[in-house]
Amino acid sequence: MIASIARQAAYGAAELKRAFTWLAQVGAARASMAQLARMSDAELHDIGLVRQDVVDIGALRRSVERSALAERRAAPRGAKLAA
């Protein structure tokens, strides 16, 4: 009985940690997208992006690696995004 309660408590703690981690990741992604959206066209050009890239990256599902798309878009334009 006690072992079962302990397992359930451990599972609940793991789920809570996973939820907080997800919230932190979503918050960081939103902050990054907001920062890109505030940049001028000249600033975006300096890092190899155009306004449409920001729109396209923002439209991706959260499960898709957004930075990979940004790097693929910037590379042919001769820019290298900071990690």
Query: With 0-12 CB in 10 A as exposed, 13-18 as middle and 19+ as buried, what is 76?
Result: exposed
Confidence of residue 7 (pLDDT cuts 50, 70, 90): confident
Domain range summary for the chain, segments of one domain joined by +:
2-77
pLDDT of residue 43: 92
pLDDT of residue 78: 67
**Mean pLDDT, the chain, integer:** 82
pLDDT of residue 12: 84
Residues 6+ apart with CB under 8 A from 73: 48, 49, 53, 56
Please check the confidence at residue 26 and state whether its pLDDT lies above 90. no
pLDDT 10s digits, 47-82: 888 999 888 888 777 666 777 777 787 777 766 555
